[in-house]
Chains A and B, each alone.
Chain A
C-alpha cells in the first residue's frame, strides 16, 4: 500500500510580492513555501499511514532542483521517500502538460491496487485546481476533489466532499486520487529526529531520460510545446483612483460620509 502525495513549491504570495518590469512574477526575489493545500494532502497521507503503518508515503514534486529543500522538510514530517521530477524538457508546462508528466512519474513509480494519490486542491501561484483531476484522468483513476474528511474502509475510501452549501459523501474504489483542502486537517510539524533522518531517506530525481519510455511522455504532450494553453498577455491589476479621506471627530467624519453618499444618491 502506497500513498503518493503530489506537492508543489510556490512563491509565498502572502509575503513580499515582486513583479518584473514585463509584468511577470520575479520568483527569484520571493520566499518559497510548500503550497498550503499540499501540506493538508501530506497530512492526510501521514494520518492514514499512522493507522496503516505498513503503508509507504512517497512525495512527488515537479520543479527545479532547489525544491529538494521542500522535499527534505516533508521527509522530516514523516514521509518515507521523495521524488523530484525535474528537467529542461518539462519547463513551460501548463496544467495539461504538468499533469501528463506527474502522471508519468507516478506510473514510473508503479501504482498498486490499494494505492491512493493525494493532491492539494490548488496551488496559490496559479489557483487553477486542475492538475489533480487531470492526473486522475491520465491514470484513469476515480477522483474525489475538495475532501474535508476521509476514512479507509476495507478496500474503499469514504470521502466527504465539500460543496458550497454543504457536502456529499462519496465512496470510491482504490486506487484513486483525492484533492485536499485546509478544512481536512491541521498539518503536523517536522520533528528534530525526522530532520536528522531526512537526509538518509530515499530521494530520487526523475529527469526526462528517466521517464522518456513512459507511454505518457511524448515531446508533444510535455513542456511548452505540449501545452494547449499559452499566455497571451499578462499585466498588473489596476488600482482605483484614491478617494476622499474624511477627517474630523468620529461624529464629524461620519456626517461628512453620509452627506456625500446622500448627495450621490448612493443611499
Chain B
C-alpha cells in the first residue's frame, strides 16, 4: 500500500461530496449533502466539489451545480457500473490522494456506509458515521449547542479560530449526542444520515456555471474480488416516509386489534394526504415491514404533521421524529414520554379517537 502523507492539514483544500448514483439515478443524499457542503465551503472560503462515479454518468453532473457544487469530478469506467466496494473504494481513495480535499461527505446509505469506512481505513483518517449536524465555524457550532443542549455555552472555553469539521451524531440509541472531530488527519470524513440535511432550492444559473471534469480512472478486473450477480429492486414500493408532509405513525398501542389499528392509521393518513409509519415495536412484531420504521434504527422524518398513535415515545423513536413541525400524540397512558415532545396530546383510546378524527376531517 502506498503511504499517503496526510498529517498536515495545510496540504488539504476544499469540501467534497460523494454523489451517489445507482443505475443512473441520483440518490437524494447527493443533493442534500451538496446543499450542506455549500455552507461549509462558504464558511471555509473554499471550493465545493462533487465526486461522481459510474459508467456513462457525466450527464448527471451539471445538476449538482444547481445545488451548490462549483465543480464536479466525474470518474467513468465500465467497472463502476454497479457499485462494488473494491472498485469504488479504489477510485475514491485514488482521487482523494491526488486532489487532497479537507472534507469528504458521503450519504449514510447502505452503499455509503459500506464505502466510507473502507476508504477511511485505507486513507488512515477518521470517519464519523451517520451524522445529523455539521459545522466548521465555532460561532455557528455554539449557536447550535445553545438551541439543542442545556450546556452553558458561554462559560466554556472556545478556540474561535478552529476551522476543523465538527460532526455531531446521536449515540447510544439517541440517548446521547456526540460531536466528533478529526484533528490530526485529513481528509475529515463523515457519512451523513439521509433526510436530515435540507435541500437548497435548485439554481439553474449555478448549474450552468458548474465545471464538469472527466478524470482518468485506473481500474482493472483484478482489482475486484467480488462480482455483482444481480441487482433487484423490490416490487413493493417502499413508503416514502422521508418525503411525506404528513406521517401517521402507529405504535404498540394498536396491539389489541392490529388490523383495525393499521386500517385506521391508513384512513387517517389518506384523509390528510400522508403516509403510515411505525415504531420499532410494530416492525419487530411483523405487523408492518421495516420500510415503515421511524426512529434511530429506522428513518428520520421531519414532516409538517406527525401523528403518533399508541406510541409511548421511547428515546429511540423520538430521535427519528422530534424535528417534525407539529407533533400530535394519542396515547392511553397520560405519562407516556411522547407527550413531553408533543405539541398537542390527547389522552385516550386511539380506537375511539382516530375514527372521530377521520369523521371530522370528512366534514
Chain A residues packing against B (C-beta within 8 Å): 11, 13-14, 17, 19, 23-25, 94-96, 99, 124-134, 136-138, 141-146, 158, 161-173, 176, 183, 227-240, 242-247, 250-251, 253-255, 257-258, 260-261, 264, 266-267
Number of interface residues of B (CB under 8 A): 92
Decide: A239 and B114 in contact? CB cutoff 8 A.
no
* In the complex with contacts A99-B121, A130-B116, A236-B177, A229-B128 CB distance below 8 A: yes
Q: Smallest distance from the beta carbon of B308 to chain A beta carbons, Å?
A: 12
Q: Smallest distance from the beta carbon of B316 to chain A beta carbons, Å?
A: 7
Which chain B residues in 163-192 approach chain A with CB under 8 Å? 166, 170-185
Decide: A163 and B111 in contact? CB cutoff 8 A.
yes
- 9 additional contacts (CB under 8 A) given A125-B172, A166-B231, A254-B357: A133-B121, A167-B231, A228-B125, A235-B148, A236-B149, A238-B149, A240-B342, A240-B343, A246-B345
Decide: A236 and B129 in contact? CB cutoff 8 A.
no
B340 CB within 8 Å of chain A:
yes
A-B contact pairs, 30 of them (CB 8 A): A13-B173, A17-B315, A24-B176, A95-B127, A96-B125, A127-B173, A130-B129, A137-B122, A143-B85, A145-B85, A145-B110, A145-B113, A161-B110, A167-B234, A168-B232, A172-B225, A172-B227, A229-B180, A234-B178, A237-B176, A238-B148, A239-B340, A240-B327, A243-B339, A250-B348, A257-B346, A258-B357, A258-B361, A261-B344, A267-B305
Contact of A171 among B109, B126, B226, B305 (CB under 8 A): B226
Q: Smallest distance from the beta carbon of A11 to chain B beta carbons, Å?
A: 7
B334 CB within 8 Å of chain A:
yes
- Which residues in B have their C-beta under 8 angstroms from that of A238? 147-150
User: Main SS of the interface on chain A?
Assistant: mixed
Decide: A163 and B110 in contact? CB cutoff 8 A.
yes
B118 CB within 8 Å of chain A:
yes
Decide: B322 and A240 in contact? CB cutoff 8 A.
yes
Decide: B126 and A144 in contact? CB cutoff 8 A.
no
Closest to A135 in B: B121
Contact of B340 among A23, A240, A244 (CB under 8 A): A240
- Which residues in A have their C-beta under 8 angstroms from that of B126? 94, 96, 227-229
A127 to B131, CA, bound (A): 11
Mask: chain B, 119-141; 1 = CB below 8 Å from A; 0 = not: 01110111111100000000000
Which among B117, B179, B304 has the greatest number of chain A C-beta atoms within 10 A? B117
Contact of A14 among B110, B148, B316 (CB under 8 A): B316
- Which residues in A have their C-beta under 8 angstroms from that of B319? 237
User: Main SS of the interface on chain B?
Assistant: mixed
Q: Smallest distance from the beta carbon of A230 to chain B beta carbons, Å?
A: 6
Decide: A130 and B346 in contact? CB cutoff 8 A.
no
Mask: chain B, 343-360; 1 = CB below 8 Å from A; 0 = not: 111111100110011001
Decide: B176 and A95 in contact? CB cutoff 8 A.
no
Closest to A140 in B: B1
Q: Smallest distance from the beta carbon of A263 to chain B beta carbons, Å?
A: 12
Decide: B171 and A168 in contact? CB cutoff 8 A.
no
* In the complex with contacts A127-B296, A172-B225, A233-B344 CB distance below 8 A: no
Decide: A266 and B305 in contact? CB cutoff 8 A.
yes
- Which residues in B have their C-beta under 8 angstroms from that of A232? 166, 179-181
Decide: B228 and A166 in contact? CB cutoff 8 A.
no
- Which residues in B have their C-beta under 8 angstroms from that of A13? 172-173, 175, 316
A99 to B121, CA, bound (A): 9
A176 to B227, CA, bound (A): 13
B229 CB within 8 Å of chain A:
yes
B214 CB within 8 Å of chain A:
no
Decide: A228 and B339 in contact? CB cutoff 8 A.
no
A242 to B238, CA, bound (A): 33
Closest to A260 in B: B344
A234 to B118, CA, bound (A): 26
A94 to B178, CA, bound (A): 13
Decide: B172 and A244 in contact? CB cutoff 8 A.
no
Contact of B145 among A231, A235, A260 (CB under 8 A): A235
Decide: A246 and B344 in contact? CB cutoff 8 A.
yes
A14 to B126, CA, bound (A): 28
A158 to B327, CA, bound (A): 44
- Which residues in A have their C-beta under 8 angstroms from that of B185? 228
A245 to B179, CA, bound (A): 35
Closest to A134 in B: B121
Contact of B172 among A17, A172, A251 (CB under 8 A): A17
Decide: B356 and A146 in contact? CB cutoff 8 A.
no
Closest to B6 in A: A228
Q: Smallest distance from the beta carbon of B6 to chain A beta carbons, Å?
A: 10
Q: Smallest distance from the beta carbon of B239 to chain A beta carbons, Å?
A: 11
B143 CB within 8 Å of chain A:
no
Decide: B120 and A235 in contact? CB cutoff 8 A.
no
- Which residues in B have their C-beta under 8 angstroms from that of A168? 82-83, 228-232
Contact of A255 among B82, B113, B341, B360 (CB under 8 A): B360
* In the complex with contacts A13-B316, A243-B342, A237-B170 CB distance below 8 A: yes
- Which residues in A have their C-beta under 8 angstroms from that of B111? 163
